[in-house]
Structure 1
Amino acid sequence: MRAVILHDGKLSVGDVPLPEPGRGQIRLKVTRTGICGSDLHVRLDAEPSADVAAEVGYPDFIRSSHHVVMGHEFTGTVDAYGPGCRRRWKPGQAVVSLPLIKHGDDVHMTGMSSHAPGGYAEYLLVSEAATMPVPNGLDPDLAALTEPLAVAYHAVRRGDVAKDDTAVVIGCGPIGLAVILMLKAAGVRRVVAGDFSGPRRDLARTCGADVVVDPAVQSPWDVLGDDRRLVTEATALYGAGIDAMDALQRIPGVPWWTVMRAGQRFGAGPRGAAVFECVGVPGVIEDIVTHAPFRSRIVVVGVCMQPDTFRPTMASNKEVDLRFSFCYDPAEFRDTLHMVARRRIDPRPLITGVVGLDGVADAFDQLAKADSHAKILVNPHAKP
Structure 2
Amino acid sequence: MKAVTVQDGVLSVAEVPLPAPGPGQVRLRVTRAGICGSDLHVRVHAGASADVAAEVGYPDFMRPGHRVVMGHEFTGVVDEYGPGCRRRWRPGQALVALPLIRHGHDVHMIGLSEHAPGAYAEYMLVAEDTAMPVPAGVSPDLAALTEPLAVARHAVGRGQISRRDTAVVIGCGPIGLATILMLKAAGVRRIIAGDYAEGRRELARRCGAHLVVDPATASPWTGLASSITDVYGAGLDALHRLRGVPGLPWWLAVRAARRLATAGVVVFECVGVPGVLEDIVTHAPIRSRVVVVGVCMEPDTFRPAMAINKEIDLRFSFCYDPAEFRETLHLIAGGRVDPRPLITDVVGLDGVADAFDRLSKPGDHAKILVDPAQG
* TM-score bin, normalised by smaller chain: over 0.9
Q: Distance in 1 between matches of 2:220 and 2:353?
A: 35
Q: Does residue 1:248 correspond to 2:236, yes or no?
A: no
Shift of 1:370: 4.5
- For residues 184-216 of structure 1, give each alpha carbon's deviation from its aligned partner in whole angstroms, at most 9, with x where no partner exists: 111111111111111111101111110111111
Q: Which amino acid aligns with 1:77?
A: V
- For residues 363-382 of structure 1, give each alpha carbon's deviation from its aligned partner in whole angstroms, at most 9, with x where no partner exists: 11111125110000000112
Any stretches of 5+ residues in structure 2 without a counterpart? none
Q: Distance in 1 between matches of 2:352 and 2:277?
A: 32
Q: Is the 8 A contact 2:225 2:284 kept in 1?
A: no
Please give the root-mean-square deviation of Cα atoms over the aligned residues, in Å: 1.2
Instruction: Report what 2:73 is aligned to.
Output: 73
Q: Is the 8 A contact 1:232 1:292 kept in 2?
A: no
**What secondary structure sits across from 1:336 in the alignment?**
helix
Instruction: Report what 2:261 is aligned to.
Output: 268
Shift of 1:333: 0.6
Q: Distance in 1 between matches of 2:102 and 2:133?
A: 19
Q: Is the 8 A contact 1:32 1:144 kept in 2?
A: yes
Q: Does residue 1:354 correspond to 2:346, yes or no?
A: yes
Q: Distance in 2 between matches of 1:143 and 1:251?
A: 61
Q: Which amino acid aligns with 2:311?
A: E
- For residues 145-188 of structure 1, give each alpha carbon's deviation from its aligned partner in whole angstroms, at most 9, with x where no partner exists: 00000111111111111101111111111111111111111111
Q: Which amino acid aligns with 1:279?
A: V
Instruction: Report what 1:344 is aligned to.
Output: 336
Instruction: Report what 2:253 is aligned to.
Output: 259
Q: Does residue 1:376 correspond to 2:368, yes or no?
A: yes
Q: Is the 8 A contact 1:340 1:346 kept in 2?
A: yes
Number of equivalent positions: 375
TM-score by length of 2: 0.98
Q: Does residue 1:235 correspond to 2:225, yes or no?
A: no
Deviates more, 1:245-254 or 1:133-142: 245-254
**What secondary structure sits across from 2:68 in the alignment?**
coil
Q: Distance in 1 between matches of 2:8 and 2:306?
A: 41
Q: Percent identity?
A: 71
Q: Which amino acid aligns with 2:212?
A: V
- For residues 301-343 of structure 1, give each alpha carbon's deviation from its aligned partner in whole angstroms, at most 9, with x where no partner exists: 1111100000000000000101111111111111110000001
Shift of 1:251: 4.2
Shift of 1:249: 2.8
Q: Is the 8 A contact 2:197 2:363 kept in 1?
A: yes
The runs of at least 4 aligned residues of structure 1 exceeding 3 Å deviation read 250-254
Q: Distance in 2 between matches of 1:311 and 1:251?
A: 41
For residues 1-384 of structure 1, the aligned pairs below 5 Å read 1-222=1-222, 225=223, 230=224, 232-265=226-259, 267-268=260-261, 272-382=264-374, 384=375
Q: Is the 8 A contact 1:275 1:296 kept in 2?
A: yes
Shift of 1:252: 4.4
**What secondary structure sits across from 1:299 in the alignment?**
strand
TM-score by length of 1: 0.95
Q: Distance in 1 between matches of 2:157 and 2:66?
A: 35
Q: Is the 8 A contact 2:70 2:119 kept in 1?
A: yes
**What secondary structure sits across from 1:60 in the alignment?**
coil
